[in-house]
Chain A
Amino acid sequence: MSRYGGLIRWKFAIPLVGFIVAVVVYVMMFLDAHVRDAVTHYATRLNGAEVNVGRLRTSVFGGFVELEKVQLTDPEAPEFNRLEWAKMRFELSGSALLRGKVVIQDASLQDIQIRSKRERPGYVLPPPPPEPEGPGLKEKTMVLLQPVKQELMQNAMAFLKEKNLDNPLKDVNWEELPSTLAVKGLQSELQAKGASWKGMLGSLPDAQTFASMKADLQKLKPPTDPNQIQTAIGQLESIRAQAQVSVMQVEKLAQQLQQEAATIQSRIQNLDELAKQDLAMLGQKLKLPDLDFKGLAEELAGPEIKRYVRMIETYYAQIKPFLESKEQEAPSKPLRRAGRDYSFPLANGLPSFWLQSAQISSKETAEGPLGDMSGKITHVSTQPELIAQPTRMSLQGGFRQSQILSFCRCG
């Protein structure tokens, strides 16, 4: 026996065998239960309310996953399910997978129900704290409704054009509108006021008057003779009286101008009110019905859209951290060559992708929008020439609540 040791590390064999046995036992005995618990836990967090998974089965060698009796509680009405399905099965062909091909033997979702009644109300998770930044529900609703609004406007304009009503305001006499009349009155009044203000400003003492008063003041010398004191006081008094008269004139005019400016400002503000009167008058002339469109739109679509926006918001908030991609540096040129891929398909081999059968069915509920529907699609493939089977699609069912008892579409 050499000191370095033989080629095989035998001491790893026992732990390896133990590890393999443990994995096999775990997969056979505990995997389904643990996956079911994990799915229930994370789906409940994502849904914001209790999610129940009746049964989960996986098979590594069979290549399938099956989920039965899945119920998603509606957080806004816990006695109902937001979504429920009886069975979901996804089966991959193991032998195809070993050949590097994806062959889906069965992908089915059976008995989907919306707003189905629960046996007992599900528990609802406390709502997450609101995020301070970003647009709120109202803004998101507005964004969602924006295309609808644009389409409505386009349709309305097309209708008016078709009825030669694309310029319905051509017969309106714009001169009669209250706001036009008020603006004209305001303009003529301002012109008259302007002339009056000019005259008043002209009557005010000018700079020369104040300069002469200043010069007179500078001429006054302190009297040296006591007899002249009385005369000097008289002169000073006369200049003071003259100055006081001038100041009073200026103050009076300033006050008057302020009052008139305030009046004009209030009349300009009043134009907004007059514009509303214009709209009412135009509406009467166009014979528009007196509809509260905002109220009507909120009544018709608001609660439903808000409900779905809230639902999407809840799911989005949960998956947002996973969607946010970290900033990645631009990939540098790889040092090694990528090479070229060749393919060597057999004439009767497997295609790269083959969906053999996919089924979906729904059940009507008293509250939900779905009917008793059933759809099936078979043999979808990336290389149809290899499978030599046509793609078939069928859809059948009915909506009893809407009196559509049955229909069928096959192709």
Chain B
Amino acid sequence: MSGGFPGRRWLAPDEVSWLQLFLALFCGSLLGWTPTLVTLHTIVLLLLLVFIRVPLLLLVITAAICWILGAFAIDPWIDALGQRLLTAKDLQGLWTQFYNAPVLPWTRFSNSMVTGAVALALACSPLWFILSWKLRSMVQSAAN
């Protein structure tokens, strides 16, 4: 018997783990907030999603919501966050190492929107953790 809310099984199937829910929310937000898919980490992420089993509908909905949110509301904040991080004096050594290291430049971390989007997705991790934990509890109680 399906409990919780209509279509809950599509978003969070029975016996899905909280880690799978967390990864769907985290990857969805990262893909949605990053303005372009032509970066190494997004391509790797998309390839990884072939091998990692996560609720794809939840991931797609999260990505769509984050993309719309970025396009119409929070893009200036993402950009400002990225610029603040990339120009922070304490981080200049780290960015210089990244910039001259192999592979990492292909992630386009030196772009303010990309860095801002990754930082925001990481900053929202506790929120995704709580949300996935709650969702998992809801699934368990509904299953019982």
Contact = CB atoms under 8 A, between A and B. Distances in A.
Nearest to A16: B51
B12 to A, nearest CB: 10
B102 A339 contact: no
Interface string B70-113: 11100110110011001100001001101111110110001111
Given A95-B102, A337-B76, A344-B95, 16 more contacts: A2-B15, A8-B53, A98-B106, A339-B113, A340-B83, A340-B111, A340-B112, A341-B112, A342-B86, A342-B111, A343-B99, A343-B110, A344-B96, A344-B110, A345-B99, A346-B96
Nearest to B139: A4
Nearest to A13: B51
A339 B36 CA distance: 11
Interface of A: 2-9, 12-13, 16, 95, 98-100, 335-346, 349-350
10 contacts: A4-B15, A4-B17, A7-B17, A7-B19, A98-B103, A99-B100, A338-B113, A339-B82, A340-B112, A341-B111
B114 A339 contact: yes
B45 interface: no
B51 A12 contact: yes
Contacts of B23: 7
Interface string B99-135: 1111101100011111010000000000000000000
Given A336-B75, A337-B35, A339-B35, A4 B53 contact: yes
A162 to B, nearest CB: 62
Task: Provide the main secondary structure of the chain A interface.
Answer: loop
Interface string B33-56: 001100000000000001111000
A12 B16 contact: no
A2 B105 CA distance: 40
Contact of B51 (A9, A98, A350): A9
Interface residues on B, range: 35 or more
A224 B110 CA distance: 126
Contacts of A337: 35, 75-76, 78-79, 113
B55 to A, nearest CB: 9
Contacts, number: 97
B19 A342 contact: no
Contact of A336 (B50, B98, B103, B113): B113
B96 A336 contact: no
Contacts of B51: 8-9, 12-13, 16
A268 B44 CA distance: 86
Nearest to A336: B35
Interface of B: 13-17, 19-20, 23, 35-36, 50-53, 67, 70-72, 75-76, 78-79, 82-83, 86-87, 92, 95-96, 98-103, 105-106, 110-114, 116
Given A4-B53, A6-B53, A99 B19 contact: no
Contact of B79 (A98, A100, A335, A340): A340
Which one of B53, B75, B92, B111 has the greatest number of beta carbons of chain A within 10 Å? B53
A7 B23 CA distance: 10
A4 B19 CA distance: 13
Nearest to A334: B35
B14 to A, nearest CB: 7
A9 B47 CA distance: 12
Contacts of B99: 343-346
B53 A339 contact: no
B112 A339 contact: yes
Contacts of A98: 102-103, 106
A339 B79 CA distance: 6
B15 A3 contact: yes
A98 B104 CA distance: 8
Nearest to B35: A336
A341 B19 CA distance: 34
Contacts of B95: 342, 344
Contacts of B15: 2-4
Nearest to A6: B53
A335 B67 CA distance: 10
Nearest to B13: A4
Contacts of B114: 339
Contact of A9 (B36, B50, B106): B50
A338 B13 CA distance: 37
Contacts of B72: 335
